[in-house]
């Protein structure tokens, strides 16, 4: 929120390069984990940008690198375990090259994260109010009673009834949906400009999912925050995302507006995702279309296009899929895809094979 | 009180090792001619003294003689003994220690060597006068002896002391010598039910305050040894509290109880009512101002404290733990502070003639021939643990003779030919099967059983070892004739320590067939020889000491001839004397340091 | 909201009180059963082995006791009475006291009377009361030391996992857990008390000390030796617990909030990792109060543990009963306290 009183940390660390540049700018992020079995390349050259007020959905299977990306942005990897290269510019400040202490001061204050399972993600021994107050007081020098009032306000804002009583409840005393709301309240308590939601609805009932997603959208418009939604579920991002980035084997393989992704998907993997997603707004066909094969090893990534062992169209590229790695290229209107297939081949495949079955 | 000493002890601890080692080294070098190694056994001269620290310096001589008074004698026990009540105690070390706070009619003279086996007058002016075929014994008391509260001691107090000890319900720990020998004692006699002492009127007379007369139900020539027993220490009837008397025993000795915390510790201080002029013969030297005895101290800790100089005496008196022995014997300066004293104890194995084929004397002899005697000695720790026994009575016993019927000394590891010849004669040329019992907790006895197993195997006797728990060994198992017979316990490893070192004390409980009780609890595990029983009776009436001693030697020979017992080791203990101890010598009456003469240079 | 709101706070004070009362009543029953079992073991097992009352009594008489004396003792100690009568006498003694004939007169031992020792002919209860402070001093002092050092070491090791510090402390911890206390005890006495003269010698009664400084001095070596044993296992437990807890989601959340690492480790990580350790600590302390047998015998401390050894060595039933009950009481109380504390520490336990 831009209307809150300024505090010192924010002013000190601002290094704006150009006005109008993206609020979050990730450039060629690489996150490698050296292990005894080899180097795990969780994220291998990722770049994207995000404006305030916009929502980016990052979609992919487990192992695609989406969670690792968000943890890298937040600086939550254990020191010494990850080799991180590239740049992550938050409002002009590079987080990768910043000191751990500098990044810590930004966590919760300018960027916040909510996690998949709110029951395990909140400490079971402290009340929800205590945890929110703790989050608030680490960045704001206020008295306990002021912080408590703020916590009650936050609970109210996220739609928890009787917040003045629920503030003293323990996480296990909330239902799943309420718990997630409380976690959102905790994350937003310091009005961060960037919110990363890592699988925020995966652990919740379907009926509650919609409520949480609505809440996130409301809060975003209220606070003008940049939101990243990480999920494997396209249905979730259909609701919320302005743009969608599809990740596979640590790289982005398609990036476009949500509408584009759903109406005119270009990458065979995206087709697979769409095919394996049950949809209410279409006729029910006989069965879902799973993507054949298994997710790749991140130590021994398949050469060439990482997707080639599972791609139904790799044979159309005269071996390029096995040898040459496709770059993420703009094919028009800001729609980016990393694929060797020519636009015609893709259109054919889309029209004849995929679209009818969806 | 403990606190103020702490600071002083603290400093002294530091100075201790360095200076002491230097001093003793100098003394040892410069006084090399003095002392030297005392002989073993009781045949060398008594008297004489030395100050040069050398091994066995205190065995037959006084080491570090002194008349200097003062200081605290610090003693410790790893558990506790039966009782400090003189009428209720049966442990040798207790009989030694009780003389610091009590005076019995007679006492072993506090002198080194053979002199220490002599009985001299303590409360009485001298040994008793036997009359009526040694059935009546009269003692005259010294005048001027008082209790710690100033009350004069009379013969009635001695009578009461003996009478109360007859009540085994209230005072269960003691011996039954008086119950067995005094005349017409009613069954289940208790002074607490018979306050007028009518029941003992026939047995004990007190014609006047200085005279006491004992009437026995049979002749007994060694009654003077009974007069040595702590039960003869006077107890005033008015102050007797029965089972609780031990909480404050009224002293007639040079020290009295200042405090006694059961199971924890006791402190004795000087008894100002003790008049040394009334004690000219015993040789007591009450040097320390205070005596402390700590109870329930971990045994290993006792040894460590002795070696470090933080403790003066291990009151148990049986010597260092096996774990400390190795360390001490390995270091010259520590070895010089040890005394390898003879103990009136025979470690032996009983052969049970109730179990065939041991009913045949030749089968028994075969075992005596085949046994490995060195192996037996090794089981008890080698020569430090004792000497190979070739007969029953050790040299400690006055008048004992050493003889070697079966040639143990020449055939230290057994003689297979002789054994096989004996087997042929008893009709078992190929050997036979046999069980040997031992006490589970005693590793030494286990080692003996195993040594017997190995040595007897050579002649075809197959031995199976059978362990039994110590606490019930004699009460329920080997000491119960029916059990031993039914379970075919042909051999039983055992150990016997004499109550006092004379023929009666040493042999009667283990070779007299009439003491065997069917109910168990026997120390005689199977010697049944009618001619031996007759000889014992004869010895009991023989008042001439030399003649009596000869009879006991004959008994020893008869038992050995019958091959009822396989003697193993005449025990020795390895005692340790810290360098601050003065007036140290082994009293042959107790086979440990005499506790009535010890002093300390530590203040 | 589709479901009714659960109550925000835990149980009321009344319910907690009722719970405690229920547990205490159960404890009393348990203690009675324990005494019955101890009685049974003491008497029935030898009976099954064929021993008679006289055989049992033969343990408490002198070396040369005849059948007559043994029988007298059996009668005096009550062995010839039927078992239920003996047990009844014991229970009665607990609530109403007992009389004891010591020869010239009779003494009354007031309730609770745990009986008279077969060997010292003295009531057992005053001994227990007298020895308890020694054991309590030993237990609490050592507990404090091992908790602080063990947990502290465990936390540091977990945070610096794999480092030289971690590996060396865990090796020392392995030694601490593996070495028996009579070995470490005797060794430390030998070095620190006798060779160097820094600490008190064995057998010093700390309750004799004239002031707390001397009391602590007397206990420092037993404390450290005993604590070493436990600190070792607590270090390993804490380390394992911390490693697990630091991987929990809520720790990641705490970091995501921007909390300083120290707060994350202590307030979020350690607080959670300590809960199982708390349980174990309560039980360890309870057991120790019932008598740190090995430590007390090694250092010759006159506490309940040493008393247990004296009692067992001599087959002295009244003492054995006394010690068993004391130990049982402490363990039961410790269990109760730990259960209650668990509810205090972990709110999830409360709503049951």
- Whether A107 and C258 lie within 8 Å, measured CB to CB: yes
Q: Show which of residues 85-114 on chain B sit within 8 Å of chain C, judged by CB atoms.
A: 90
Which residues on A lie below 8 Å from C253 (Cβ)?
A: 115, 121-123, 183, 186
Closest CA to A291 of A314, A269, A317: A269
Packed helices A206-223 and A176-187: angle between N→C axes, nearest 10 degrees: 20
Q: Inform me whether the C-beta atom of residue C80 falls under 8 Å from chain B C-beta atoms.
A: no
Would you call C253 an interface residue with chain A, using a CB distance cutoff of 8 Å?
Answer: yes
Proportion of chain B above pLDDT 90, given as a percent? 67
Q: What is each CA distance from A76 to A91, C96, C256, in whole angstroms?
A: 19, 68, 7
Q: What is the mean pLDDT of residues C138-164?
A: 92
Counting as contact any 3 or more CB pairs under 8 A, the partners of C are A, B
Mean pLDDT computed over C245-269 = 92
Average pLDDT rounded to a whole number, residues B71-88: 94
Residues B120, C168: Cα–Cα separation, whole Å: 68
Which pLDDT score is estimated for A10? 38
Does C300 sit within 8 Å of B168, measured CB to CB? no
Q: What is the pLDDT of residues C211-255, one digit of tens each?
A: 889 899 999 999 999 999 899 889 999 999 999 999 999 999 999
Q: Which of B276-280, C66-70, C277-281, C287-291 has the lowest mean pLDDT?
A: C66-70
- Distance (Å) from the C-alpha of residue A246 to the closest C-alpha of chain C? 25
Contact between B315 and B590 (Cβ < 8 Å): no
pLDDT of residue C227: 92
Q: DSSP letter string over A328-351?
A: -EE-STT-EE--SS-HHHHHHHII
Q: Which residues of A touch C2 (CB under 8 A)?
A: 175
The three-state secondary structure class of B435 is strand
Distance from the Cα of B210 to chain C's closest Cα (Å) equals: 27
What angle separates helix C181-188 from helix B299-308, to the nearest 10 degrees? 20
Reading the block at residue C105, the tokens are 């007169």
Single out the residue of C104, C138, C143 nearest to residue C121, CA to CA: C104
Closest CA to B510 of B401, B366, B313, B348: B348
Would you call B242 and C103 a contact, using CB atoms and an 8 Å cutoff? yes
CB B347 within 8 A of CB B568: yes
Whether residue A203 lies within 8 A of chain C, CB to CB, comes out as: no
Task: Report the percentage of chain C scoring pLDDT > 70.
Answer: 95
Whole-number CA gyration radius for chain A: 21
More confident of the two residues B224 and B472: B224
What integer is the mean pLDDT of C69-80? 86
Tell me the per-residue pLDDT of A178-223, one tens digit each, with 9 for 90 and over: 999 999 999 999 989 999 999 988 888 888 888 888 888 888 888 8
Task: Give the angle B172-B84-B290 at the CA atoms, nearest 5°.
Answer: 180
The answer, yes or no, to whether B and A have at least 3 beta-carbon pairs within 8 Å is: no
Is B263 in contact with C300 (Cβ distance < 8 A)? no
Choose from C62, C126, C293 for mutation: most chain B CBs within 10 A.
Answer: C62
Nearest residue in C to A186, CA atom = C257
CB C294 within 8 A of CB C182: yes
In chain A, ranges of CATH 3.40.50.300 domains: 5-110+192-357
Q: Are A48 and A107 in contact (CB under 8 A)?
A: no
Chain A hits for C261, Cβ within 8 Å = 104
Mean pLDDT lowest for which of A339-343, B143-147, B228-232, C262-266? Answer: A339-343
- Using only C-alpha atoms, chain C has a radius of gyration, in whole angstroms, of 25
Question: Do the chains contact at C8 and A108, CB–CB below 8 Å?
Answer: no
Q: Mean pLDDT over all residues of chain B?
A: 88
- pLDDT score of B193 more than 50: yes
Query: Residue A349: its pLDDT value, please?
Result: 82
Task: Measure the CA–CA gap between C55 and B477, rounded to whole angstroms.
Answer: 11
Domain A5-110+192-357 has CATH 3.40.50.300: yes
In the structure encoding, which two tokens stand for residue B106, read together? Answer: 């007679």
Q: Is C330 on the interface with B (CB under 8 A)?
A: no
Band (pLDDT 50/70/90 cuts) for residue B14 is very low
Give tens-digit pLDDT for A115-139: 988 899 999 999 999 999 999 999 9
Query: What 8-state DSSP symbol labels residue B243?
Result: G
Report d(CA B71, CA B203) in Å as an integer.
44
Neighbours of B, requiring at least 3 CB pairs below 8 Å, are C
| Smallest CA–CA distance from C259 into chain A, residue | A138
Chain B partners within 8 Å of C210 (Cβ): 3
CB C339 within 8 A of CB C137: no
Q: Which of B85, B78, B24 is nearest to B50 (CA)?
A: B24
Mean pLDDT of B295-306: 91
What is the band of B220 on the pLDDT scale with cuts at 50, 70, 90? very high
Q: Taking residues C32-51, report their average pLDDT.
A: 84
Look at the pTM and tell me if it is higher than 0.90.
Answer: no
- Residue C351: its pLDDT value, please? 62
**CA-to-CA separations, C149 to C159, C201, C277, C327, in angstroms, rounded:** 15, 25, 13, 26
Q: Do C120 and B263 make contact, defined as CB atoms within 8 angstroms? A: yes
Give the integer Cα–Cα distance in Å for C47 and A338.
89
Q: For chain A, list the contacting chains (3+ Cβ pairs, <8 Å).
A: C
In DSSP terms, A255 is beta-bridged to A245, A336
Residue B561 CB coordination number (10 Å): 13
> What are residue B388's phi and psi, to 5 degrees?
-60, 125
With CB atoms and an 8 Å threshold, state whether A162 touches C256: no
Alpha helix positions (H), B121-184? 155-164, 177-181
On whether the CB atoms of residues B497 and B592 are closer than 8 A, the answer is: no
Of residues C169 and B46, the one with the higher pLDDT is C169
How far apart, in Å, do the first and last CA atoms of chain B sit? Answer: 14
Confirm if B100 and B258 have CB atoms less than 8 A apart.
no
pLDDT score at B40: 36
ipTM: 0.85
């Amino acid at each position: 929120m831009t209307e809150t009183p300024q505090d010192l940390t924010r002013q000190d660390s601002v290094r704006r390069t150009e006005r109008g540049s993206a609020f979050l700018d990730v450039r060629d992020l690489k996150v490698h984990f050296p292990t005894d079995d080899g180097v795990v390349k969780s994220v291998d050259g990722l770049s994207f940008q995000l404006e305030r007020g916009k929502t980016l959905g990052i979609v992919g299977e487990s192992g695609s690198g989406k969670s690792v990306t968000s943890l890298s942005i937040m600086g939550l990897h254990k020191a010494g375990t990850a080799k991180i290269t590239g740049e992550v510019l938050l409002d002009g400040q590079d987080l990768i090259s910043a000191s751990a202490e500098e990044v810590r001061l930004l966590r919760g204050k300018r960027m916040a994260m909510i996690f998949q399972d709110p029951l395990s993600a909140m400490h079971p021994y402290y009340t929800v109010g205590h945890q929110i107050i703790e989050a608030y007081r680490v960045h704001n020098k206020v008295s306990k009673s002021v912080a408590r009032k703020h916590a009650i306000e936050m609970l109210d804002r996220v739609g928890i009834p009787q917040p003045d009583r629920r503030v003293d409840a323990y996480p296990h005393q909330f239902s799943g949906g309420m718990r997630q709301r409380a976690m959102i309240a905790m994350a937003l308590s310091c009005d961060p400009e960037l919110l990363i939601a890592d699988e925020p609805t995966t652990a919740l009932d379907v009926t509650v999912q919609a409520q949480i997603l609505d809440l996130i959208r409301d809060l975003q418009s209220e606070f003008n925050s940049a939101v990243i939604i990480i999920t494997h579920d396209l249905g979730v991002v259909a609701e919320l995302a302005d743009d969608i980035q599809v990740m596979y084997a640590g790289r982005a393989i398609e990036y476009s507006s949500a509408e584009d992704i759903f109406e005119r998907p270009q990458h065979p993997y995206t087709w697979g995702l769409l095919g394996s997603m049950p949809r209410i707004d279409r006729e029910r066909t006989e069965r879902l279309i799973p993507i054949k094969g298994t997710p790749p090893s991140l130590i021994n990534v398949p050469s060439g296009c990482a997707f080639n062992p599972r791609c139904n169209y790799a044979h159309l590229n005269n071996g390029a899929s096995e040898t040459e790695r496709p770059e993420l290229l703009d094919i028009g209107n800001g729609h980016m895809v990393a694929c060797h297939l020519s636009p015609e081949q893709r259109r054919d495949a889309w029209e004849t094979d995929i679209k009818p079955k969806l | 009180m403990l606190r103020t000493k702490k600071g002083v002890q603290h400093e002294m601890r530091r100075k201790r090792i360095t200076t002491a080692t230097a001093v003793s080294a100098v003394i040892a070098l410069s006084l090399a001619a003095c002392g030297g190694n005392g002989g073993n056994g009781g045949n060398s001269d008594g008297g004489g003294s030395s100050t040069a620290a050398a091994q066995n310096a205190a065995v037959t001589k006084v080491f570090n003689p002194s008349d200097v008074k003062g200081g605290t004698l610090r003693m410790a026990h790893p558990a506790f003994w039966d009782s400090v009540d003189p009428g209720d105690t049966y442990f040798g070390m207790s009989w030694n220690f009780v003389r610091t706070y009590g005076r019995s009619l007679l006492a072993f003279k506090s002198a080194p060597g053979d002199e220490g086996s002599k009985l001299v007058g303590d409360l009485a002016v001298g040994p008793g006068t036997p009359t009526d075929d040694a059935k009546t014994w009269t003692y005259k008391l010294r005048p001027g002896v008082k209790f710690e509260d100033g009350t004069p001691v009379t013969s009635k107090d001695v009578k009461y002391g003996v009478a109360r000890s007859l009540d085994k319900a209230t005072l269960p720990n003691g011996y039954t010598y008086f119950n067995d020998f005094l005349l017409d004692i009613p069954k289940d006699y208790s002074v607490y039910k018979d306050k007028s002492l009518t029941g003992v009127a026939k047995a004990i007379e007190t014609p006047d305050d200085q005279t006491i007369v004992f009437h026995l139900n049979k002749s007994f020539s060694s009654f003077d040894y009974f007069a040595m027993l702590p039960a003869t220490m006077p107890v005033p009837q008015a102050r007797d509290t029965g089972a609780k008397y031990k909480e404050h025993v009224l002293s007639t000795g040079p020290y009295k109880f200042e405090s006694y915390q059961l199971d924890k510790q006791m402190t004795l201080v000087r008894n100002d009512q003790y008049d040394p002029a009334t004690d000219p013969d015993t040789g007591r030297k009450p040097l320390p101002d205070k005596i402390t005895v700590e109870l329930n101290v971990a045994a290993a800790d006792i040894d460590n404290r002795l070696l470090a100089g933080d403790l003066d005496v291990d009151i148990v008196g049986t010597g260092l733990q096996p774990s400390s022995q190795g360390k001490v014997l390995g270091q010259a300066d520590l070895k010089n502070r040890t005394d390898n004293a003879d103990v009136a104890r025979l470690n032996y194995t009983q052969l049970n003639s109730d179990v065939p084929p041991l009913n045949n004397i030749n089968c028994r002899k075969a075992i005596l021939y085949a046994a490995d005697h060195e192996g037996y000695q090794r089981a008890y720790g080698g020569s430090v643990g004792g000497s190979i026994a070739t007969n029953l009575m050790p040299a400690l016993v006055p008048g004992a003779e050493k003889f070697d019927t079966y040639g143990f000394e020449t055939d230290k590891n057994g003689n297979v030919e002789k054994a096989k010849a004996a087997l042929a004669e008893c009709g078992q040329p190929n050997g036979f099967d046999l069980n040997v019992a031992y006490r589970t907790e005693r590793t030494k006895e286990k080692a003996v059983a195993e040594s017997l197993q190995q040595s007897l195997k050579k002649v075809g006797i197959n031995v199976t070892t059978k362990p039994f728990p110590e606490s019930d060994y004699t009460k329920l198992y080997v000491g119960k004739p029916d059990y031993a017979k039914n379970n075919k316990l042909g051999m039983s490893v055992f150990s016997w320590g004499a109550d006092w070192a004379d023929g009666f004390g040493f042999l009667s409980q283990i070779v007299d067939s009439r003491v065997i009780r069917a109910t168990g609890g026997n120390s005689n595990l199977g010697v049944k020889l009618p001619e031996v029983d007759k000889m014992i009776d004869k010895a009991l009436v023989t008042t001439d000491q030399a003649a009596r001693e000869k009879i006991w030697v004959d008994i020893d020979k008869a038992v050995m001839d019958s091959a009822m017992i396989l003697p193993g080791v005449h025990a020795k203990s390895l005692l340790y004397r810290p360098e601050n101890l003065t007036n140290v010598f082994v009293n042959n009456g107790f086979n440990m340091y005499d506790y009535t003469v010890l002093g300390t240079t530590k203040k | 909201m589709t479901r009714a709101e659960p109550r925000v706070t835990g149980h009321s004070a009344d319910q907690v009180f009722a719970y405690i009362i229920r547990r205490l009543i159960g404890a009393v029953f348990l203690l009675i059963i324990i005494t019955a079992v101890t009685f049974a073991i003491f008497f029935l097992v030898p009976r099954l082995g064929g021993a008679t009352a006289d055989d049992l009594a033969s343990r408490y008489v002198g070396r040369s006791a005849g059948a007559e004396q043994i029988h007298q003792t059996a009668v005096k100690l009550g062995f010839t009475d039927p078992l239920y009568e003996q047990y009844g006498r014991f229970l009665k003694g607990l609530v109403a006291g007992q009389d004891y004939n010591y020869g010239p007169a009779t003494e009354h031992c007031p309730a609770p009377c745990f009986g008279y020792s077969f060997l010292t002919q003295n009531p057992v209860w005053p001994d227990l009361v007298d020895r308890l402070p020694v054991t309590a001093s030993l237990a609490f002092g050592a507990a404090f030391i091992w908790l602080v050092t063990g947990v502290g070491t465990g936390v540091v090791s977990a945070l610096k996992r794999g480092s030289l510090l971690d590996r060396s402390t865990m090796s020392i911890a392995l030694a601490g857990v593996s070495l028996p206390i009579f070995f470490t005890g005797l060794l430390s006495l030998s070095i620190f008390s006798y060779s160097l003269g820094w600490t008190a010698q064995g057998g010093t009664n700390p309750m004799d000390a004239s002031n707390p400084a001397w009391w602590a001095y007397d206990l420092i070596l037993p404390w450290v030796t005993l604590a070493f044993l436990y600190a070792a296992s607590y270090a390993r437990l804490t380390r394992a617990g911390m490693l697990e807890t630091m991987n929990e989601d809520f720790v990641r959340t705490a970091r995501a909030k921007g909390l300083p690492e120290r707060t994350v480790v202590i307030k979020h990580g350690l607080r959670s990792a300590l809960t199982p350790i708390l349980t174990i600590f309560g039980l360890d302390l309870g057991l120790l109060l019932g008598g740190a047998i090995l430590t007390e015998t090694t250092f010759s401390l006159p506490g309940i543990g040493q008393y247990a050894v004296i009692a067992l060595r001599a087959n002295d039933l009244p003492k054995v009963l006394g010690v068993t009950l004391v130990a049982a009481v402490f363990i039961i109380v410790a269990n109760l306290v730990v259960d209650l504390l668990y509810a205090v520490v972990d709110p999830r336990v409360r709503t049951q």
